[in-house]
Structure formats: C-alpha cells, structure tokens
Structure 1
Amino acid sequence: MKIAQISSLWFRVPPVRYGGAEMSTHLLTEGLVKKGHEVILFASGDSLTEAKLISPYPIHFEKTHFDYASEQSMVYLNIHNLIKANNEGRFDVINFHLSLWSDYVYFLVAKQLNTKCVFTVRYTIPDKKKLPLEYQMLSNYKNLNFVSISKSQQRSNLKLNWIANIYNSVDQKIYTYNGNKGDYFLWVGSIHPYKGLHLAIGAAKQTKSKLVIAGKINKSIPIAYDYWLKEIYPRIDGKQIIFKGETTRKQTAHLMSHAVAFLNPIQWDEPFGLVMVESMACGVPVIVFDRGSAQEIVKNKKTGFIVKNCEEMMTAMKNVTSIKRYDCFKHVSDKFNINTMIDNYEKLYSSLR
C-alpha cells in the first residue's frame, strides 16, 4: 500500500528527548517500511526515517522559536505538500496523528481529499465546559475515522466514530530489560502540575526514599514554569531529590533500567502513558494513580500498583519489591509488542480500501 503518515511538526520524528506521539509515529512508520509498504512521512526536515520524507522546514518547531503565525504558515505548507503529493500519486490511506489542538485543521483537508483518511488521537478529548471551542470543532467532524490509543480515551462524553483501538508500543532495543534494581525511585516527564511531580517528591520524602527526576522545564508555559519555580526547584537537594534535567531516550532508558520503581501520580486522565510501558519494558514496576489508561497499561499487583492517593502510593513504595521485574518485561512484550501495533494498523488500512 501507499501510505502517508502525518506527524506534528513540533518535535522531530523520532524525538530527541520528550515526545511520545512522535516516538509512536516513528515506530509505526519504520515498521510499515520494513513490511514493504511505500510510506511517505510528512514531518520536520530533521526527522530520521527510511520512508520518503516531505517537510515544510528543515528543523522541528521546538528549535526554531517561531511565533504563532510562522508556525501556522508551516502547517499550511505541510498541507500544501500533502495535497500536491496526493494529486501526483494518490495514497491508499492517509494517517493523521493528532497531538495538538492546531492539528484540527487537518479535518478540513480530509474532507477535500478523495482518499481514505484515519485520525489517530494522541491527546485527551476536550471537555465541553473547559475547552468549548475545541470541543465544538471536534464535534463537527465526529463522523471521520478515528483511532484511539486506549479504551479509556473512548469513554468521553463526545462520541466519535472510533473504528479501532490500537495501543502504542516501545522500542525494546532501547528500553532493555534489567533484572537488577538500583537504589532510587524515578519520575520522568514534562514538568507541569497535571503530571503530579510534587506528589512524587512528597511521597519520597515521607518514605525517606531517593527520587531521581528526569524532566522537561517548560519556560514557555507560565503555569508550568511557575510550578517549577515554586513547587519543584526549592525541594531539589541533589542528594535525596535529584534532578537530571531533560534526558535523551538512551539516558532515560538507562535511568529506568536501574530504578526500583517508576512513580506516576498523574492528575489528569492521560489517554496513554507511554512512559509507563517504557519503564515496564526495562523490568521496572509502575506505581500510578488510578486515572485515564492506568488500568489498561499496568496489571495491578503484577507489574506495579494502581493507587488512589499518596497514602496508598507510599504503601506501594514499601511493598514494590514483591513485584517480579521479569513479569513487567513479559507484560510489555505480550501486550505492547511493536509487531502487534504495526499489524493492527496494517489490517485497519486494508479494511478501508
């Protein structure tokens, strides 16, 4: 099949550091190429791929410091490139990967193309009261073909035309199994109040545990930067609470593979916590708040603990050595296998032809 993959232009594919959506898009794209499909990736010009790459700009947006108008211009140029490529040799399927609200513009494009289109939704469905405009925009196009990344994502008040649920996967060549734990708990992610890092720090301090943090500081997001300055930075001492900054994928994998457990006290309904799968692939149990896709990703008391609050998290931290690290690795190999993800997309594409 001739398949187009449309990624966000904000991060490189694959991402250098943070970027779960771009990592999943990368694994899918490369897997389809290996299976003999003609794949064209529409992404930033510094993306690394065996597919044909078409890009409106040589580097990803995070590096450019573009203003909003310039960013939108690049998105429109990306659309122009897609339409041009489709007119020159029609695609069998176009798979849009939605990770930003601005990606909604692709709904308009899909309506104009005489080609089968699929939208993989990589964020939480907007709340009608909190984000009324985004909710209305998505509602206007609810009959398009949507793919969820967890079943919990489908349980939104906005009923989209979900044609499949396909879980993300991880590259187990990078996130490798280690049966021997180190002496620290780990937190990885973008530093923002909804990620709950302050709760992980509190739990570590009360249990007298070492916590290593690998996080991205969001200076461009006022609420996130204020959170870093007031809630996180003052509590880092370099001994018990250790900050590593934003790490590369290989650095993150190394930190994960030596952790006692991964702490994930999330404060939002995350559609798919890829970092939890990455941790378990390394053999590291996950202690996560019962939000979003947690119950689909972690097997409670088998590959980690699903908890309701900080008290339960601290109890789990004391009991986490009861979890067999190999069970975590096996769970990822069985349920979040790369080949399974690629096969499921391939079957979906074929069913639309």
Structure 2
Amino acid sequence: MTASLRIALLGSSRFPISQPFAGGLEAHVWHLARALTARGHRVSLFGADGSSIDSPHDVIDVHTFTLSPHARTEHMGPSWVVHEHHAYLSVMLELAGRLRDSFDVIHNHSLHYLPIAMSSTVPTPMITTLHTPPLAWLESAAAVPLNPDTRYAAVSRYTGRQWNPVAGPIPVVPNGIALDRWPRGAGGDYAVWTGRLVPEKGVDAAIDAAALAGYPLRIAGPACDDEYFRTVVAPRLGPDVVYEGHLMQKEVADLVGGAAVAVVTPQWDEPYGLVVAEALACGTPVAAFGRGGIPEIVDDACGVLVPADDVAGLADAMRTAATLSRSAARARAERVCSDTTMVDSYLALYRDMLDERDAVPA
C-alpha cells in the first residue's frame, strides 16, 4: 500500500465545513481533513457550498436540483429533506460510477442513511464514524447486510454500546482536537458555555446554575433554533449573562481559556462531548451533567460531574471545578483528546481495510 492515501471525507450537505462551525460535526470533519492533509494524504471533501479547510484539498460536488411544481406539495415535508436526499444519492452513485477508482478509502461522517445503505454499490472500502445514537433511519440502513469492505467506528465507548445490537462490536476512536489550536489559557472570573443554542444542549440549565453559583456566564455558539433563542435564551441575557455570538475557532479558544470553569449541560446522552475536550485543552476545568460519553473524557483531576438535570448540584460542581488545576486539565486533554491519537487510529483502520481487501482472492 502506498504511504499517501486518497481519502474521500463525506460531511454535511446542509452546513459548510468551515468557520464559524455550525456544530461539532462540522468542526470535527474540518480538523480531521486538515490533520490528514498535514500527514501527506490527499483529501477530497464532500460538504455544503462554502466548505473550506484552509488547506489543499479537492472538492466533491454537492448536487442540487429544482423540484418541479408537481412534486412541490404540502405532503413532501421540509424541502431540505428532499435536497439532502438528492445530494447523498448523487454522491453515492458517483462513487459507484464516475469516481469509482478515484479513492483508496471513503470516510463517511454524514448523519444520512444513504451512504450506509448504498455502501454495497461502491467498490472502495468505506468506514462510517457513528457520531450519534442509533437514529431510526441510520439503524435501518445498518441493519441491511453490507459490503464486507464497510466498517464502523464509534466516537465513544458509550455510543459503541448503543450501536452494538445492530452493528456488533465496533472500534472506538474518540474525537480528537488540534491541541495547538486550543492553547492553555490563564483563566479568569467567569464561567463559559459553548455549543449550539438548541434545546438538547440546555444552555438555560447553565444560566440557572451559574446564577446559583455566583458566576457571570459568557455564551458562544450558533443560534440554530430561533424560537428557543428568542423565548428561552434572549430574555435571560444581561450584565451577568452575555451572548458573545457565533465565533471563529480562535475566538472561542480565547473565550474558553479565559474562563474559570466551563459548563456543559446536555439534555440528551451526548455521544462524545467535543466542547469538553476543547475546554480541557484550554486548561479550563469542566462542570457537567455526566451523560453519554462525557464521563470517558472527564476525570476527578479536571472536572466534576453531576446527574442529569441537577442544576443545584451543577452549581456546586462549578464552584469545586473552578478550584482544580489548570495544568491537570490540559494534561488530561493531551492524554485523551489529541488529534494525533485520533488520526493514528483512523489510519490504522484504513490500512486494515485495505489489507483485508487485498488479501481476498480475485
């Protein structure tokens, strides 16, 4: 096998893989693409218009189309669903046809079911990273017998266990971050919350906990749910609760590194918890609801976990976490959150897939 691989990364057809990031998935694909390119591999990126990793890469076009008046009915559902379906149908047909010899490995990070369901039509080994619990359409696709060259990886042991009944035992490759892009900060006197401003991320619980703990709270992230932001978040803003906006990565790192404590408040079982890794890299201890994969990242030296929805407990956790060592937080990130380890693991999986394919008699 050649040292340099041709790798197709399938991301979101709806949200650009570029800064400022729409969410953790886009941030993850952006960092992975850059890290693979830095290792000398040729990365081709499938992502919504405007995707850019600020590094050499090829583009796999996201195909769009215009619905005819006859197809455009009240029964078709949201138009973005149709356009997303068309985008993934088109790219998988291209990978099975026009692009069939263009790549050594396809790495699927999309949350759409078609790349999994159509994997048997593609001659190229494909690995899908499972970034979510077994959502209905994804689980249905995974339950169909697949191309033997198709593999899975989970972003946490917790997520791997969720997928085990349908996908069997699968390797775990925790999401990694470029530690140099998240330098250790000096800390400060405020708490910070970062992420998508949507109900399942629970910033309102962070606002309540910060008030009980006596910390001013600074918030950053995209306001993806207009109604939630308008009715739940905006009325709570003021001198002690400041919305900094949807920031570029370096601005987020500066904000997080200047905080005494990072607050993480998922209202669902977080598959990984990228904002936790980012906070620890900045040397900022974490107070969080201990849901999903978060307990796999946080230990007693770098954070305090409390049961889900325990706002009073979270306030106490904030006070305690703020006293923890910033050096220990950074050291924890270096041990378990490095993109170097993540890329090593993915490259090993790529090599295993290619070696297995080459070992099969023609």
Residue of structure 2 equivalent to 1:177: 184
Q: Percent identity?
A: 26
Of 118, 124, 127, 1:118 maps to 127
Which is further off, 247-256 or 228-237? 228-237
Which is further off, 40-49 or 159-168? 40-49
Q: Distance in 2 between matches of 1:15 and 1:72?
A: 25
Q: Aligned ranges for residues 200-219 of structure 1 at < 5 Å?
A: 200-218=206-224
Which is further off, 8-17 or 323-332? 8-17
Residue of structure 2 equivalent to 1:304: 303
Q: Aligned ranges for residues 152-171 of structure 1 at < 5 Å?
A: 152-156=158-162, 158-171=165-178
Q: Aligned partner of 2:208: which letter? A: G
Instruction: Confirm or deny that 1:322 pairs with 2:323.
Output: yes
Q: TM-score with structure 2 length normalisation?
A: 0.83
Q: Aligned ranges for residues 30-45 of structure 1 at < 5 Å?
A: 30-45=34-49
Indicate if the aligned counterparts of 2:196 and 2:223 stay in contact, CA closer than 8 A: yes
Query: How far 1:302 sits from its partner (Å)?
Result: 0.6
Instruction: Confirm or deny that 1:74 pairs with 2:87.
Output: yes
Which is further off, 135-144 or 206-215? 135-144
Give the root-mean-square deviation of aligned CA atoms. 2.4
Q: Distance in 2 between matches of 1:69 and 1:90?
A: 27
Q: TM-score with structure 1 length normalisation?
A: 0.85
Q: Distance in 2 between matches of 1:229 and 1:39?
A: 39
Cα deviation per residue 1:118-160 (whole Å; 9 max; x = unaligned)? 111112222xxxx5x5543443358852110000001216431
Q: Aligned ranges for residues 325-336 of structure 1 at < 5 Å?
A: 325-336=326-337
Change (3 A) 1:338 1:135: closer
Q: Distance in 2 between matches of 1:4 and 1:327?
A: 37
Query: How far 1:276 sits from its partner (Å)?
Result: 0.8
How many residues align? The count is 330
Q: Secondary structure at the match of 2:134?
A: coil
Question: Can you give the 5+ residue segments of structure 1 that lack an aligned partner in the other structure?
Answer: 59-64, 219-223
Q: Distance in 2 between matches of 1:170 and 1:74?
A: 28
Instruction: Confirm or deny that 1:55 pairs with 2:54.
Output: no
Q: Aligned ranges for residues 1-353 of structure 1 at < 5 Å?
A: 1-48=5-52, 49-56=55-62, 67-87=80-100, 89-98=101-110, 100=111, 103-126=112-135, 131=136, 135-140=139-144, 144-156=150-162, 158-178=165-185, 180-218=186-224, 224-237=225-238, 239-299=239-299, 301-308=300-307, 309-353=310-354
Indicate if the aligned counterparts of 2:7 and 2:42 stay in contact, CA closer than 8 A: yes
Query: How far 1:76 sits from its partner (Å)?
Result: 3.1
Q: Distance in 2 between matches of 1:293 and 1:46?
A: 31
